[in-house]
Amino acid sequence: MEFNQNQQITGVELASILGIESSGITRLFKNGVLIKAKSKKFALKRNVTAYIEYLKVNAAGGGDLADNRNRLTIAQAEAQEIKNQVAKKELAPLSLLESALMRWAESTASIFESIPIKLKRKHPDLTARKLTEIKKELAKARNEMAKVQVDWSDND
């Protein structure tokens, strides 16, 4: 078949040149791989080049070019949404949250440690037995605080 680079051809002709079915041309067009010119025909050079690129991506295990574009667009949109949430302080990096929780735990632990001493000063009549019971209860509370972990299933 004789043709020049600027030639406009039908989908049937393009299918013949590429060695695929006409339905394949339709699918590739719908997926954005192939592009029709204003004449409603296919520009030969542009579409052969696009088809070769499509084959390269598929050969590299990249899947359908249109699917890859869609995944990339979705990933970019999700990344931008996360950046927007961080900027609005609706979302924080895990390291920042860990740091805040560590500071809270440290300050809370020191408060718990001081409770028996403060109670003894304010109430000198407290017996050693009562203070021991208070310390036991505070120790239980500290131990429960130390057990706290993120339950990632709560995020679903």
For the stretch 83-140, pLDDT in tens is 899 889 888 888 888 899 889 888 888 898 899 999 999 999 999 999 999 999 999 9
Task: Specify the pLDDT at position 128.
Answer: 93
Closest among 67, 60, 7 to 33, alpha carbons compared: 67
The larger pLDDT score, comparing residue 27 to residue 68, is at 27
Reported as a single tens digit per residue, the pLDDT across 45-72 is: 889 999 998 888 777 665 566 676 777 7
Ordered by start, the domain boundaries in the chain are: 8-83, 94-149
Please tell me the distance from the alpha carbon of residue 64 to that of residue 61, in angstroms, as a whole number. Answer: 9
Spatial CB neighbours of 42, under 8 Å, sequence gap ≥ 6: 8, 9, 10, 11, 13, 14, 25, 34, 35, 36
Beta strand ranges found along 44-113 (DSSP E) = none
Closest among 149, 153, 154 to 97, alpha carbons compared: 149
Three-state DSSP class for residue 131: helix
The answer to pTM > 0.95 is no
Please tell me the distance from the alpha carbon of residue 97 to that of residue 89, in angstroms, as a whole number. Answer: 12
Does 11 have pLDDT greater than 80? yes
